[in-house]
Amino acid sequence: MANLKEIRNRITSVSSTMQITSAMKMVSAAKLKKAQDAITAMRPYADKLTELLQSLSATLDADSGSKYSSQREVNKVLVVAITSNKGLCGAFNTNVIKETIRLSKDDYAGKDVSVVAIGKKGNDVLSKSFNIVSNNSSLFDDLTFDNVAAIAEMLMDKFVEGEFDKIVLVYNKFKNAATQIVMTEQFLPIVPVEGESSNNSDYVFEPSKVKIVEQLIPKSLKTQLFKGVRDSFASEHGARMTAMHKATDNATELRDQLKLTYNKARQAAITNEILEIVGGAEALNN
């Protein structure tokens, strides 16, 4: 059994760790509320905009289709992996990294797969196996629509210029504080929804349907990427809050076990001292 000093040192160490994890849990809980409100308010707008764009795109002739809808033979794929800059959030980053690797080995086996990293953790791991086209770890220092839109414009330019034939997003979708769902979404090219051509026959489009779609597509793509980053941001704080809650509970349990061990060792030491005193007294009497 460890001596009393070693046990006391371990109790102090575990207590310090418990204080840190508890503080991190409370910080993540505070940030989660704001991030959750932001993504909850944004989703209906983003989903409706995407639905409208796909519905309009389905009614256009092939010759008048957008440059962002160009279907090409897929040889070069760009994966936008959205992770976080910090760890201590369970399997949050690992799940995105695993999905990115799975895509390159299964869905796009034999293709030239590159990565745009949003988040330091994803960049650190994926840079060892993939060509990193762009590292945008600083995005989370100032997460605004304009900053995300700049990245979306870069992705659109690379697709239009033919550098990549397909661009997909991989990120964690926020469901609740304890659940994050790894999502893989096609960013480019845009795939119109089939069977929607008859739904817009009663509408009059000004100036024209083609021009409306051309203006909506860049905005929709920027919104789609911003929604993915916002989802990931909320998921990160939810995952970290859950991880720190479990870590705090484990630290509390370990501290209680150490205190019990300490009390048993202390009682045993006191008992031994009493026995030694009694034994010495008996020896003197004899």
**Structural domains of the chain in order of their starting residue, each with its CATH number:** 21-192+213-243 (3.40.1380.10)
Widest CA span in the chain: 117
Is the pLDDT at 205 greater than 60, yes or no?
yes
Question: What would the mean pLDDT of 123-137 be, rounded to a whole number?
Answer: 94
**CB-hemisphere CA count at 13 Å for 22?**
11
Quote the CA–CA distance of 72 and 135 in Å, as a whole number. Answer: 26
**What does the alpha-carbon distance between residue 275 and residue 60 come to, in Å, rounded to a whole number?**
96
Count of beta carbons in the 10 Å neighbourhood of residue 280: 10
Question: Which residues share a beta bridge with 169?
Answer: 80, 185
pLDDT for res 198: 43
Q: What's the pLDDT at 63? A: 45
Task: Please give the pLDDT value at position 58.
Answer: 63
59 is catalytic: no
CB 79 within 8 Å of CB 183: no
User: What integer is the mean pLDDT of 77-94?
Assistant: 94
Residue predicted with more confidence, 205 or 165: 165
Mean pLDDT of 12-20: 93
18 pLDDT higher than 50 = yes
pLDDT of amino acid 59 = 63
Q: How many CB atoms lie within 10 A of CB 123?
A: 21
Rg for the chain, CA atoms, rounded: 29
Report, as an integer, the average pLDDT of 195-221: 70
What is the pLDDT of the chain when averaged over all its residues? Answer: 87
Among the options 18, 89, 113, 170, which is catalytic?
Answer: 89
Give, in order, the Cα–Cα distances in Å from 80 to each of 48, 64, 126.
23, 28, 11
**Rounded to an integer, what is the distance from CA 127 to the centroid of its chain?**
18
pLDDT of residue 69: 81
Arithmetic mean of pLDDT, 114-119: 96
Task: State yes or no: pLDDT of 95 exceeds 50.
Answer: yes
Please answer whether residues 80 and 187 qualify as being in contact, where contact means their C-beta atoms are separated by less than 8 angstroms. Answer: yes
Q: How many CB atoms lie within 10 A of CB 101?
A: 17
Q: Which of 26, 23, 130 is nearest to 81 (CA)?
A: 130
Flag the least confident range among 71-80, 102-111, 251-260, 265-274: 265-274
> pLDDT tens for residues 131-173?
999 999 999 989 999 999 999 999 999 999 999 999 999 999 9
Closest CA to 18 of 254, 257, 258, 263: 254
In angstroms, rounded to a whole number, what is the distance separating the alpha carbons of residues 16 and 21?
Answer: 9
